[in-house]
Structures are given as structure tokens and as C-alpha cells.
Amino acid sequence: MSRLGAIVPVLNPDIGTQQLVDLAVDAEACGYDAAYMPEAWARDALTLTTAFALATSRIEIGTAVITIPTRTPAVTAMAAATIDDLSGGRFTLGLGMGHQRTTTCWHGLEYEPKLGWLREYVDIVRRIHTREQMDYHGEWLRCTDYRLAFEPCRRRLPIYLAALRLGTMRLAGEVADGVFMYFAPPEYIRKGIAAMNEGLERAGRDPAAFDRAVMIPAWVTDDTARARDVARTQVAWYSNLTFYNTMFREAGFEDEADRLRDAWAKVKAADPEMKEWLALSDCGTAELVSDELVEAVAVFGSADECRAKIEGYRALGVDTPIVFPYGVYADGQQAFEGYARTLAGCAP
């Protein structure tokens, strides 16, 4: 595979819903192979992906990713089959376990990030898409007395798993069609791809049919110092989530990961509700993130520099680098133009 994907960034509160759709249209016009929508606490990923389907004609579209603890497999399977039908077979279903805070606080649900749960979830979605009469009783999930009431566009649409832990990457190699990694340093990407290949071999699957994708924060800008500091803040923010902190640690940044973990523990002790967390504040932890870690996970600079760095991911074994525009802008229009400039600058 030799593909290039784009993320439509959702968390800027000033950018409009139609502008997000327009970014997907821009990605198609720039020659990207896929445009993906993440799920956070802003606009709904499945609704926007449906809008992408109706506004584009060639580019693959998908979620990167939606969280499984907040949706039953049947609900997800119906939504995926519907969007795939609308798009003429261009939809990719990206799934992830999410995080404890988002599951328990926002939705009031229990959170148990078990690989068995994820495996069963994928299995049920697959079976529903084949229009099987469901009588599924797993260790974690069940689905009975159900059959999809229309013939889907495809009986096997691509399913990718968000994976930060090596065990999830092995599982993806066994049951999924690809993996989405994010904020992954090169050393961890190498370990991850080895784990994916273990899963592929275990399941007797063709490695060439599996997509190893990495979402890469990117900013085409002349102000590299500012871009580095903004990325530093993002790394610090994500490090309060256990899965990311562990990934940074296992990628060789042990001291930083430990200091960040301890710093976030103090933040949580002082403010158990983490009021600043939703505002993407680093809560004073960014100073603990080194330039080395920042430059291991983000690309910034001129368009030529960004393209060269993104292409460098292929040497690690990545099939699909995915450009994830970031940046800080004065208003929504400037954000839209900045994200579009980054997508155009990093385009194939």
C-alpha cells in the first residue's frame, strides 16, 4: 500500500460544521486517498461522515475513531452499513475503546478496556453485515433475535482499530483490516508493526491486505517555534491519559512519562473534576515535554519539510500516513484556512 489520509479536525470551537465538510471536499480535491472524522466532545463523527459521503465522490471516508463502550455493536453496524451504502462503498469503520473519563463521566457507563470485548464487538459487527440471524452469546457481549433488514453495499466493509497498546495491535492483526496509531514515536511504531504482524501471522492472514496507519499532527507554518510549543502542549495534555502515557514510556521516554504522570496526579488531586481538561489545557505540565518527544510525534515547518517528514514514516513500515492538521488561530475562518493550507501543503 502507498496511501495518504487526512483527518478533519473537530475540536476547534470556532470552526463551523459546513467548514468541516468543506475540508473533506478539499482533501478529495488535493488527491488524498481518505478523509477521516474523529470523535471527541464536539460534533458527531457519524453525522459528519455521512455529510462527507454526500459531498464527495471518490475519496474514502471513515471514522477515526468512534468509541465502542457508548454504542452497541448492532447500532454501530447499522450506522456503518447505512453510510457505506450512501457513499457507494467508500466507508471505513474506525473503532476504539475510548478512555475511562469519557466513558464514565460523560455517559455514566462502566469502563472495562478488555481485548475480549473489542474482539467480540468486531465479530458481531461483521456478522450483522453478512445479514446473519444473530444468536450471539459472548463472554462480554450478546446479540440475539436480530437480522439486518437490508442488503448492505458490502458484506465486509473495512474495520480499523485505534491502538495504543501492543496487545490491541496484535488483536487488530487477527480481526481487523487496519490500525490507527496516534502520537506514536518512531520506536513505538516499529514495535507496533511487529505486534500487528504477529497477529496477522497467528490468524494466517495476508500482511499485504492490512493497513498500518499513523495519524500525524501536522502544521505547515513559518513559525516553527510556535508550532513546536503548541504540539508540546498537546503531548502534555494527552499524557494524562493512561494509554498515551504508557506508550510514551515504552517508546523510550520513560523519565518524561513518569514526570508527566506525577504532575497530572497532582493536578487531579487539586481539582478532581479536571475543569480545565476539556479546554485542552496542559495545566502547567507542558514544560516537562522535551523537544525530542515533540519532534518524534509531530511535523511542522514548510510544506516541503512537512511532506518529507510524512514520507519518512513509510520507511518505518507505515502504509498510510494520515495528516492531522493542528494549530492555534484567532478565529474560525483563520482556522479553516490554516487547516486547508496544511492539507494542501502535505498533499501528494
Please state the three-class secondary structure of 289-317 as a single string: CCHHHHHHHCEEECHHHHHHHHHHHHHHC
Predicted local confidence at residue 47, as pLDDT: 97
Q: What is the mean pLDDT of residues 178-196?
A: 97
Q: What is the mean pLDDT of residues 66-95?
A: 97
The terminus-to-terminus CA distance of the chain in angstroms comes to: 14
Q: How would you label 86-100 residue by residue, b for 16+ Cβ within 10 Å and e otherwise? A: bbeebbbbbbbbbbb
Q: State the sign of the Cα–Cα–Cα–Cα dihedral 246, 167, 299, 324.
A: negative
Residue 41 CA from chain centroid, whole number: 14
259-286 per-position pLDDT tens digit: 999 999 999 898 887 777 667 789 999 9
Predicted local confidence at residue 259, as pLDDT: 97
Give the CA angle between residues 190, 196, 201 to the nearest 5°.
Answer: 125
With both helix axes pointing from N to C terminus, report the angle between 303-312 and 332-346 in degrees, rounded to the nearest 10: 60
pLDDT over threshold 60, residue 1 = no
Catalogue all structural domains in the chain, each as residue range(s) with its CATH number.
5-222+302-346 (3.20.20.30), 223-297 (no CATH)
Count the neighbouring beta carbons within 10 Å of the beta carbon of residue 273: 9
pTM (2 d.p.): 0.95
User: Which positions ≥6 away from 110 have C-beta within 8 Å?
Assistant: 103, 104
Pairwise pLDDT comparison (111 vs 206), residue with the higher score: 206
Predicted local confidence at residue 288, as pLDDT: 97
Share of the chain above pLDDT 90, in %: 86
Predicted local confidence at residue 40, as pLDDT: 83
Q: What is the mean pLDDT of residues 90-95?
A: 98
Residues in the chain: 348
Residue ranges with strand state E in 197-261 = 211-220
DSSP label of 209: G
Residue 136 pLDDT level (bands cut at 50, 70, 90): very high
- Mean of pLDDT over the chain: 94
Question: In angstroms, rounded to a whole number, what is the distance separating the alpha carbons of residues 18 and 69?
Answer: 28
